[in-house]
Amino acid sequence: MFCECGISVYGGFILHSTPSVYTPLTTLSEEIEEKQVEETIKQALIKSSNLLPTEKETAVCVFPTTNTTVPMFTVGAGKIIVLYNKYYDDISIKAGIAHEYHHSVWTEKYLTDNASTTVLDNLIFEGKAVMFEKIAYPDITFTPIDERYHQEHWESIENDFHKADFNRSMEIISGGKGLPDLYGYSEGYKMVQSYLKLHPDLTPEEWTPIKALEIFNDGNYIDNYQ
């Protein structure tokens, strides 16, 4: 899926880049210890695993970085990397870990070697993680959501849903070519939200494996743009 495939390249670039300055990294390393980041991550993992159990251990590696645009990311089942920058706090760490934990569990349980992922698959992959993040921490705004339905943006993406096009997925999810920042996270979340409004008794463990097309169709999401 999007996070699994894309970050293997993106993460590799970041982790193998040589930093140009070291003093800020030393300061951040000390801050990681002082703020007890490890304990915050443990709390988030425990809360997440109570909502979506897994038998697999989850390893979280924390690296200081001066690049403030780099997110947390999942590099495989049970493998989360946190690139800690000066703007991180307990709130963003907790919600971010919940988001990546969902990616990790989905990857562990439902990723197959011969999977062909479409743009719609990738949107709902991220939408599920955002939904899980907000269920785990409903009072935290980590991934911003635009609750409006922009017809012009929708018309620019709806014909791409069936395509197995990673670059187009990146454009939509991150924002680009006329789309707002993080557009795909917001739209994917609203797709999942629409489905769960019609199936309110489902738990994260029950809705996580549901196929993207089923969530889109059975959630009647297209009605928002009719």
| CATH number of the structural domain spanning residue 28 | 3.30.2010
Give the total number of structural domains in the chain. Answer: 2
What are the pLDDT digits (tens) for 13-61?
A: 445 555 555 567 777 788 887 778 999 999 999 999 999 999 899 999 9
pLDDT at 23: 63
pLDDT at 13: 42
* Ranges of the chain with pLDDT below 50: 1-14
pLDDT at 124: 98
State both tokens at 37: 């980041």
Whether residue 213 is found in the same domain as residue 127: yes
pLDDT at 20: 52
Whether residue 89 is found in the same domain as residue 131: no
Whether residue 102 is found in the same domain as residue 21: yes
Whether residue 88 is found in the same domain as residue 129: no
Range of the domain at 38: 2-110
Q: pTM of the predicted model, to two decimals?
A: 0.88
Whether residue 73 is found in the same domain as residue 20: yes
Whether residue 136 is found in the same domain as residue 181: yes
Whether residue 64 is found in the same domain as residue 129: no
Final residue before a domain boundary, out of 90, 110, 130? 110
